Amino acid sequence: MSASPPAVPESLIAGIAAVVGKSHCVSEPEQLRTYECDGLASFRVTPGLVALPGSTAEVAEVVRLAARAGLPIVPRGAGTGLSGGALPVPGCVVVGLSRMKKILEIDFENEWMRVEPGVINLDVSRRLSAEGYYYAPDPSSQSVCTIGGNVAENSGGAHCLKYGFTVNHVLGARVVLGDGSVVDLGGAVPDSPGYDLLGVVVGSEGMLGIVTEVVLRILRKPEATLTFFATFPSTDEAGHAVSAIIASGIVPAAIEMMDRLAIVAAKAATGLDWPDVGAALLMDVDGPLAEVEHTSASATRLASAAGALEIRVPRDENERQLMWKGRKSAFAAVGRISPNYIVQDGVIPRSAIAPVLREIESLALAAGLRVANVFHAGDGNLHPLVLYDARVPGQEKRAEELGGDILRICIRSGGSITGEHGVGADKAPYMGEMFGEGDLDTMGRVRCAFDPENRFNPGKVFPTPRLCGDRPGVYRAHPTELSGQADRG
């Protein structure tokens, strides 16, 4: 059973319903359960109320009403996040942005477009494709995740090795602050004077405000893209191949690695005829045709020298898309080989790929569990999937502990506890292991400058309460509150 949230005043429900429309104000307990968690689903908390505004003005008024009532506010996109970033807190107002899905403006000449936060990531490139343009950040969930969520988490994707993360493709944003005021940060011009407040908002995980419009950088499609799929005896050889390719000066558009378990899962989900091997690399090179042909040939030579068993080049675009479907379906595909799994997300230096994967394997063996690895090898962004069976007593706890140990390996290796999934509620306890008190206090001061009442998404990211002062109405939430009042999924 989910935690029972504090009652939301009927006057607030009526006020928000008057703003967004009765059908877009969710207050019935059975309907609220839909919003209890995001894609992490490890914890579930029933929100007090869900508002589904359809415009910036409606978002601003909902925020004003919730603030007057002294309630916390949790922004929510498509709910595909994997760190508990959209996890409600007891008695909160969830502001869902799924109705705000208009593409507002496109300027091909100056290469930008303005969209609402509920626009699906993949729909951006679909809209641009006929004109020869696309949007570079491509998370594996791009067919369902939204631009607003991508901005909140600074999402990445396979092709961010060459083209950068969401922050590199956001030119401007309209943001509703904690008092309901609306500000515009950045814009369509290449650079704005003053502090980079836009860069602070991108990746802030819904803790500074609610983004209601985004100006995106769009790119011309490259003249040519060549792909190859290389198999290896183990992740050692595959890791050495990645290091050799990058060290040679080649910057692939993408270079992804999968280990044996991930390959087995992808094959089960897609029917691909991939062989039973220890590891595989999937690599894209794009740009002018002559450059792409030269670079691809150099990369395949380096992969062969590193110990590749086989190198395949897709016969046509359909086969190429099927290869990428195998990679992008890997997270969901793992459900075919395990009843339960935890998706982790950490970063290590590229040179540490082989030894870190060996260490993860040793820890998994000691825990009596399996770990499937599928990740962005070019920038060292690991996505270990810890497999377990929740029906077996103790396995879920061991899986959680193993996931935490993997994050500690990333920190110890000179990396990070997240590359693109965010900290949210899931990884907040590890922030103190990566950052010192001074670092965390500085981050808290930045948050307080935007949201002095700590109204937005409380209890996330920071491992201890970092409040802006003892003022009436300041909402105090803490991860221990979440873990104490939330039910396990």
- Both 269 and 165 in one domain: the answer is no
Residue 326 lies in a domain: yes
Q: Are residues 438 and 478 in the same domain?
A: yes
Mark whether 94 and 111 lie in a shared domain.
Answer: no
If asked whether residues 268 and 311 sit together in one domain, one would say yes
CATH number of the domain to which 283 belongs: 3.30.70.2190
Amino acid at 356: V
Q: Which of 49-58, 452-461, 465-474 comes out lowest in average pLDDT?
A: 465-474
The contacts of residue 391 (CB under 8 Å, 6+ apart) are 339
- Average pLDDT of 141-149? 96
- Evaluate if residue 386 carries a pLDDT over 60: yes
Residues 387 and 407 in one domain: yes
Q: Which range among 289-293, 380-384, 391-395, 462-466 shows the weakest confidence by mean pLDDT? A: 462-466
Burial of 311 (0-12, 13-18, 19+ CB in 10 A): middle
Task: State residue 10 phi and psi, 5-degree precision.
Answer: -60, -30
pLDDT at 238: 96
Query: In the block, which residue shows the tokens 């600074």?
Result: 154
399 & 454 share domain: no
Domain region containing 315:
224-331
Question: Do residues 323 and 367 share a domain?
Answer: no
Query: What percent of the chain has pLDDT above 70?
Result: 94
Please state, for a pLDDT cut of 90, what percent of the chain lies above it.
87
pLDDT(119) > 80: yes
pLDDT, tens digit, 9 for 90 and up, residues 46-76: 999 999 999 999 999 999 999 999 999 999 9
**2 domain residue, yes or no:** no
* Whether residue 353 sits in one domain with residue 268: no
Residue 470 has a pLDDT of: 42
386 within some domain: yes
Asked whether residue 131 carries a pLDDT value surpassing 60, the answer given is: yes
CA atoms of 353 and 358, how far apart (whole Å): 9
What burial class does residue 23 get, using C-beta atoms within 10 Å of its C-beta: 0-12 exposed, 13-18 middle, 19+ buried?
Answer: exposed
214 & 237 share domain: no
Q: Which of 274, 277, 264, 273 is nearest to 237 (CA)?
A: 277
Specify the pLDDT at position 6: 60
CB 357 within 8 A of CB 373: yes
Q: pLDDT higher for 2 or 184?
A: 184
Q: Which two three-digit tokens encode residue 414?
A: 């000179």
Reply yes or no on whether the pLDDT at 35 is more than 80. Answer: yes
397 CB-contact burial (10 Å; exposed 0-12 / middle 13-18 / buried 19+): exposed
Backbone angles phi, psi at 68, to 5 degrees: -60, -35
Q: Say if residue 278 is in the same domain as residue 384.
A: no
Q: What angle do CA 172, 213, 71 make, to 5 degrees?
A: 115
Across residues 101-119, what is the average pLDDT?
A: 98
Residue found by looking up tokens 């002559």 in the block:
290
**In this structure, is residue 381 part of a structural domain?**
yes
Q: Would you state the pLDDT for residue 480? A: 39
Domain boundary among 387, 412, 437: 412
- Alpha-carbon span 447 to 441, nearest angstrom: 10
Helix 235-247 / helix 289-305 crossing angle, nearest 10 deg: 140
Q: Are residues 472 and 396 in the same domain?
A: no
Q: What is the pLDDT of residue 2?
A: 46
Would you place residue 283 in the very low, low, confident or very high pLDDT band (cuts 50, 70, 90)?
Answer: very high
Question: Domain of 138: which CATH number?
Answer: 3.30.465.10
Report which of residues 1 and 25 the model is more confident about.
Answer: 25
Cα 284 → chain centroid: 22
Query: Residue 398's domain is classified under what CATH number?
Result: 3.30.70.2740
Residue 190 lies in a domain: yes
Domain count, the chain: 5
Q: Single out the residue in 284, 302, 331 at which a domain terminates.
A: 331
CB 202 within 8 A of CB 246: no
Residue 338 predicted with pLDDT over 90? yes
Amino acid 220: pLDDT: 97
User: Are 279 and 240 in a shared domain?
Assistant: yes
- Residue 476, pLDDT > 50, answer no
Residue 160: is its pLDDT beyond 80? yes
For 181-226, the pLDDT digits (tens) are 999 999 988 777 889 999 999 999 999 999 999 999 999 999 999 9
Between the two ends of the chain, the Cα-to-Cα distance in Å is 10
Query: Is it the case that residue 4 has pLDDT exceeding 60?
Result: no
Per-residue tokens: 325:
């479907």
* Boundary of a domain, candidates 220, 238, 260: 220
Residue 473's pLDDT band, with cuts at 50, 70 and 90, is very low
In a domain, 283, yes or no: yes
Amino acid 489: pLDDT = 52
Q: What average pLDDT does the structure give for the chain?
A: 92
Residue 345: both structure tokens together? 């997300």
SS3 for the chain is CCECCCCCCHHHHHHHHHHHCHHHEECCHHHHHHHCCCCCCCEEECCCEEECCCCHHHHHHHHHHHHHCCCCEEEECCCCCCCCCCCCCCCCEEEECCCCCCEEEEECCCCEEEECCCCEHHHHHHHHHCCCEECCCCCCCCCCCEHHHHHHHCCCCCCHHHHCCHHHCEEEEEEECCCCCEEEEECCCCCCCCCCHHHHHCCCCCCCCEEEEEEEECEECCCEEEEEEEEECCHHHHHHHHHHHHHCCCCCCEEEEEEHHHHHHHHHHHCCCCCCCCEEEEEEEEECHHHHHHHHHHHHHHHHHCCCCEEECCCCHHHHHHHHHHHHCHHHHHHHCCCEEEECCEECCHHHHHHHHHHHHHHHHHHCCEEEEEEEHHHCEECEEEEECCCCCCHHHHHHHHHHHHHHHHHHCCCECCCCCCCCCCCHHHHHHHCCHHHHHHHHHHHHHHCCCCCECCCCCCCCCCCCCCCCCCCCCCHHHHHHHCEEC
Asked whether residue 420 is domain-assigned, the answer is no
| Model confidence at 348: pLDDT above 90 | yes
Residue 421 lies in a domain: no
